[in-house]
């Protein structure tokens, strides 16, 4: 399915984590530039904060601050004309971390660098529930000859609590919540599998038995060489997953059917968010070409807890 996408901004350095703001702007991260940036309605780009490392996911919390999944830094290369990440460790890497940026004071603080005895390796995507906590994925790190297991975590915005929800996953990337906050969805990049974790309470999922490798419930998997990135959920509960290589947004029903694929002119489309008065405006980050696109969406997106 072809889209009527319009390019809102260009020259971005591996954009990800878009958040649609009330004033019509979009705040996102530029992983390679190591910043939180704002794209205004006219397409102009300004730096909101310099984070260092690799800001990867972004969400607005209950206090109006931005919460950042910082993967600690990526390495990059150009493949077939597209900017892409490559295996290896950023020279400034120390750990992954969850950060909080207060736009009122300009203060950037680190909330979490570990869960219990285990350091965070590469936090990737984040979503808040209506209880004031947030779920986030840890993608891990890809080194030249090996890679980390990935995980799903839940934490409080005040830095007081972090727990492991599911482990191990394989390259856990996008994360989103169902409209009733009872299911958390996780997209795995290399397997192109979408998992559901049925929640008994915030931060605790009911474990599904073998053959599930981590207690999740398999929603769907894509054929061929397709790869999942980040995601958003629409108001009807469908999961809209940025799909690498194919260059599209794959819309998946909660029951697992692939409803459609909306094509995007970039094989490295990495994320989607919804905005506008009717929530029918979709913004997509096209990281391979460094662009932010905007298009009309047929159904309203789910209004996030604090955005």
User: Residues at the annotated binding site for substrate?
Assistant: 124
The string over 233-265, giving b where at least 16 C-beta atoms fall within 10 Å of a residue's C-beta and e elsewhere, is bbeebbbbbbbbebbbbbbbebeeeeeebbbbe
Sheet holding 133-138, edge to edge: 123-128, 133-138, 150-156, 162-169
Longest dimension (CA), the chain: 51
Catalytic, 23? Answer: no
237, 228, 234: which is closest to 273 by C-alpha?
A: 234
Q: How far is CA 55 from CA 7, 118, 201, 263, in A?
A: 23, 20, 29, 26
**Residues facing residue 185 across a β-bridge:** 176, 196
Binding residues: 124, 173, 229
Neighbours of 289 (CB within 10 A): 19
From 125, 138, 229, 266, active-site residue = 229
Q: Is 275 exposed, middle or buried (0-12, 13-18, 19+ CB in 10 A)?
A: buried
CA distance 163 to 200: 14
CA atoms within 13 A on the CB side of 244: 24
Active site residues per annotation: 229
């Amino acid at each position: 399915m072809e889209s009527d996408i319009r390019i809102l901004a260009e020259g971005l350095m591996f954009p990800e984590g878009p958040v649609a703001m009330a004033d019509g702007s979009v705040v996102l991260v530029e992983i390679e530039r190591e910043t939180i940036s704002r794209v205004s309605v006219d397409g102009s780009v300004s730096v909101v904060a310099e984070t260092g490392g690799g800001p990867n996911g972004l969400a607005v919390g209950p206090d109006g601050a931005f919460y950042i999944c910082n993967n600690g830094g990526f390495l990059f290369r150009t493949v077939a004309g597209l900017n892409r990440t490559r295996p290896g460790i950023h020279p400034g890497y120390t750990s992954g971390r969850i950060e909080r940026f207060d736009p009122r004071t300009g203060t950037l603080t680190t909330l979490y660098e570990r869960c219990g005895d285990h350091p965070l390796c590469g936090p990737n995507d984040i979503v808040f529930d209506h209880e004031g906590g947030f779920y986030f994925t840890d993608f891990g790190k890809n080194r030249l000859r090996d890679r980390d297991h990935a995980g799903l975590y839940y934490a409080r915005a005040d830095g007081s609590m972090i727990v492991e929800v599911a482990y191990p996953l394989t390259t856990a990337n996008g994360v989103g919540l169902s409209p009733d906050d009872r299911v958390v969805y996780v997209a795995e990049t290399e397997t192109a599998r979408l998992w559901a974790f049925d929640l008994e309470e915030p931060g605790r999922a009911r474990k599904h038995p073998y053959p599930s490798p981590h207690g999740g419930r398999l929603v769907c998997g894509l054929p061929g060489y397709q790869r999942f990135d980040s995601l958003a959920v629409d108001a009807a509960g469908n999961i809209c997953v940025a799909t690498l290589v194919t260059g599209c947004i794959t819309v998946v029903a909660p029951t697992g059917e692939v409803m459609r694929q909306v094509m995007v002119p970039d094989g490295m489309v990495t994320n989607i968010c919804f905005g506008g008065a009717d929530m029918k405006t979709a913004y997509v980050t096209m990281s391979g070409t460094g662009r932010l696109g905007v298009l009309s969406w047929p159904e309203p997106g789910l209004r996030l807890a604090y955005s």
